[in-house]
Structure formats: C-alpha cells, structure tokens
Amino acid sequence: MAESQPVRSFVAGALARGMSKQDVRQLLLQAGWPKDVVEDYLGKVTLQEPSVRASVLQCRGVTKRGRKGTILADVELEVGKGELFGIVGAGGSGKSTLMHILAGALAPDAGDVKLLIEGASVSVSRDASARRHIGFSPQQPSLYDDLTAFENLVHFGALYGLSEKNQKSTALSLLKTVGLVGQQDMLVRDLSAGQRKVLDITCALVHEPAVLMLDDPATELDPAQQRQLWAMLGAVARKGTAVIIASNFLADIEEACDRIGILRNGRIAEIGRPDDLRVVYSHDFEIRVRTESEDYAQLAQQLTATAAKKIRKEGHHLIVHSPDPAECLRVMLAVLGKAKIVSIEVKRPTIQEVFES
C-alpha cells in the first residue's frame, strides 16, 4: 500500500488538468503500475471533469433544504457555451430541485448560480434579468391548456419582449421545426402528451436563450420524437446555446451529452464525459446466477474472498460484480457443486445499471 499515495496524487492531478480517466489509466498502465492498483484508485477517485468550453453557467455550493431534510448539498457544476450537459440521478436524488434552482424558479438556501453572459456575471437567484437568458422545460409541460399551441408560443414570445411580427414568425418557425404545424391551432389540452412535451420545449426556445434546461425531456416522447428532439438539441447547442438535460435514464442522454453529472443523495457524485463514466463503471462484469435452492450464503462468502467486488441478491438471483468473471465462474462451479444451476449470465453492465446499483 506504500505505492498508493503516489498513484492517488497522480490520478488527482491528471484529472484536475482535464485528462479523462481512460487516458489516466492508459498512462499508469504504460508506466508499469499494477492493474489492480490502477483500477482500485481510478474507481475510488471521483470524476470532476471540467468543461473545456467557455463557461456560461456556474453553480457554486448550492444547498437546498426541504421539510424532510437536505435535498441538495453543496452542488458544484459548470456548463460551457454550446455544451450539452446531462444530469442523471435516481428518483428523489434532487435533479428537479437542482434544475429549478438553475433556472431561477427556486432560490437556494446557500450557494449561488451565475450566468456569464457577454462578459458579465449575473446571479440567477437574485437578478431577475438573468431569466431572459434561460429557457426551461420542466418535467411536466408548463403551458396554458386553454390556449392553442400557436397562442402559447406567441404569448411567451410577447412576454420575452419579441415584436409582434417576430412572435408569430418565430412561433411558426419553431412549430415547423418540431413538426407541430398541423396542430398549431389545437388547444393544448387536446394535444397528445408527447406533443405537449415537445411544445413545452419549443416554448423554452422561443426567446433564443443562452442556456436551455430540460427536465426529463424524453418522457412521453415516442422514438421518432426522441430522435427529432436530440437532433434539435444538437442543432441548438451548435448555435452556442448551453443545454442542460436532467434525466432518470442515463441511456437517454449518454449518447447526446458532452458531459454528464451524476447526482446522488443531493450531491454531484461524478462529472465526466460519457466515455469516461462508462469506463469507470464498466470495468466490472456482472454475473447473474440462479440455483434451484436459492441458497447463496456460502457462494457469496467464497466470491467475496476471491474475485467479487460487490455482491447482492436481487429476487431469485445472486448478482456479482467482478473484474474477473472467469475466476467468479470457477468459484461458483466449485462451491455450488451438485447444486442445480437454473441460469447463469455474464454481461458488462450499462452505466445506467451501475448507477442504479
């Protein structure tokens, strides 16, 4: 363990300089460090990968307390211009609260969110003028049900100060982009859930914000709408708008986002590029085994002593995470002996699965 300190320092320093975990691993292995030591420390070090782009939004020490305790604790993140940034967390992890604070709908109990626009720093929670630069689509569409799709867009365009001519042209252009031209005169309450969601995102874009925030945007969308959404968000980001997307499902956003922050128990546990996160979480294999007796006590003990990093029982199965699946299988066969194995499956877990575990 004497070697651990230099490894830790190197890893921390490399990550702080903006290197990805994958690059750090490569370097360490090339330098001759034992693989288990490198994996161990790369696994323990939290990713806090900074944006390589010019920051447009900074969240510093944001804390929010609710009736049942702390919802967000000392959240730190930074989003660059034109960046697609994902926030992932399980239900109740504080994603929506964080999104509302970032959008200025809620004030944090501590910390601050700042927009860096045209060289000026504006506090989102304290300066109402910051709202002009933010577009927000909450988890549930925020629209007037008794106005048409077109009227909603025109109404919010007018509130954001668009001229009467621009209100209508922008509304029509956006409706065309998202494929809702045919529904422009329908009342919102008569639209499908997916159409409402799309219209809500469109409303968030009507004033061409510097930062677009979408809370769970893929919900209610069919695959075609999802593809259209990601394409549109890509286009928006390419125009220089920072896009922050919160989702329960990493799979939804890991392809689209430049960086992803993982929110766990009100704290940002990891921030990194999807590839990095995948590497961090995917070096372990997942072995799912089920026996007739479903008595896994001895097996778990043996696996823990040998190759398993994490073991849990889920339903009828024993789930084992290990970087060495071959050794795990060998132990299983040895321990289980004549016990009848109903099923056995070895796979590399998705980030989502690791995250959820």
**Residue numbers of the site for another protein (CB under 8 A)?**
64, 66, 96-97, 100, 103-106, 128-129, 131-132, 134, 136, 138-147, 151-152, 155-156, 158-161, 164, 187-188, 200, 203-204
User: What residues pair up with 317 in beta bridges, in sequence order?
Assistant: 314
Distance in Å, CB of 181 to another protein, minimum? 21
Distance in Å, CB of 194 to another protein, minimum? 14
Distance in Å, CB of 208 to another protein, minimum? 14
Q: 156 or 285: whose CB is closer to another protein?
A: 156
Contact 88, 250 (CB under 8 A): yes
Q: 51 or 93: whose CB is closer to another protein?
A: 93
CA-to-CA distance for 348 and 253, rounded, in angstroms?
Answer: 19
CA-to-CA distance for 311 and 337, rounded, in angstroms?
Answer: 20
> Strand order of the sheet with strand 211-215?
134-137, 211-215, 242-247, 84-89, 259-264, 267-272
Quote the tokens at residue 10: 């190197």
Closest CA to 263 of 102, 86, 134: 86
Quote the tokens at residue 263: 């929110």
User: What residues pair up with 24 in beta bridges, in sequence order?
Assistant: none
Q: 103 or 113: whose CB is closer to another protein?
A: 103
Contact 270, 46 (CB under 8 A): yes
Q: 132 or 316: whose CB is closer to another protein?
A: 132
Distance in Å, CB of 348 to another protein, minimum? 35
The residue behind tokens 């969240």 is 59
Distance in Å, CB of 239 to another protein, minimum? 21
Q: 51 or 152: whose CB is closer to another protein?
A: 152
Distance in Å, CB of 204 to another protein, minimum? 8
Q: 144 or 249: whose CB is closer to another protein?
A: 144
